[in-house]
Structure 1
Amino acid sequence: MRKVKVIINFLRIAVPSLIEFARNVVTKMTGNTNFPTPDVPPAQITAAAGALETKYNAAQGGGKQQTADMHQARKALEDLLHKQGLYVERIANGNEAIILGSGYGTSKQPAPALHPDFTVVNGKHEGEMILKHKAVKGAAAWVWELCPDPLADEKWVVAGYSSQTTFTAKGLKPGTKYWFRAAYIAKDGLSQWCDPFSKIAM
């Protein structure tokens, strides 16, 4: 039987999703008795994720240097997550439950949720979130919705509409976790909603 391994390829994960993944790994591994002495201290991953978030926000609308700084910060975080993933794989020794308990995905499970087409980042002002979706051919307008955590179908509300692929949600409560999703309007009507993305308002 093929041995279960840890997924440690992060190339296709958008920066906001990579940051969220890293913080989830820290949460899952902190205090986890299966991982008493991780190769990478959780605080180091937390710091790297925070640094990447800062560089990512600075690169939005920034110049080449800001973008280069962001890529450098991303590589630093990926290197730490790769090293930690190898530690998890060594400790788990093929035990799928132990691997999943670390926050990492396995070779027999779907990879962590990816959001290559939809991103959410904190805005420049308090209580703002900038939502962005990859352009879709035939889309005439966009509908943006939000849902305060915990996620529930009946709690979704329309945050706004736009003709562009970006939208700024305002009036959010700092420190509160929100879920966001988007759909586009075409000649055939409203599309399916994209996978929801969570973010804590600042």
Structure 2
Amino acid sequence: MKKVNAKYKKRQSDIVTICQRVIENMENNPAFPNPPAALAELKKVLPEFQNALVKAEGRDKQMVSIKNDKKAIVLAYLQELSDYVTVTCNNDRTLILGSGFDATNEIIGSSYPTPSIEILEVELGAPGEVTTRAKKVSGIVAYVHQYTKELPSINTEWIGIGSNQNSHTFEGLISDKRYWFRIVAIGTDGRRGYSPVVSKVIQ
């Protein structure tokens, strides 16, 4: 059985164009009435990625590292949006193309395993700071570190930061308030795996 998926090219030379096309096509599009927060976050981080690309042209190691970090964040947001488009369009190739993404057929039953995070470490730091960390697993191309201020349910809106790192430190959280944390692992073929949810009261 074949499934029509929203896809995009991950070549660095294509990423900016793809982001611009997706943002333009998905904003205020009635076919996508409730896009995830990743759309607004992508619009915000795209200029930062473009600036990092320019600064990395001189091959300065620090600038290249910054560029790579921004690239990982952009790709994580693109993946979240492509997953949303795939589910929303329900195998409608025309609707998928209307989102700005490409559309490809995938035979259900991929040879890639679903990413798995069995243990999530949540470490309290300085006041208002928390670090989420997962054990590195092969086949994962990006992570999305997430938190919410409410008891998680099926309708919970998670706040997330995309990264190519398996750990991330959140800052500016409210002291003496309970938060819930998780990490989303994104695999080579776009499959997602979720860590257990861990709750902490912030210092």
What's the TM-score once normalised by structure 1's chain length?
0.49
Higher-Rg member (1/2): 1
Q: Which has the higher contact order (CA 8 A, sep 6+)?
A: 2
Higher strand content, 1 or 2: 2
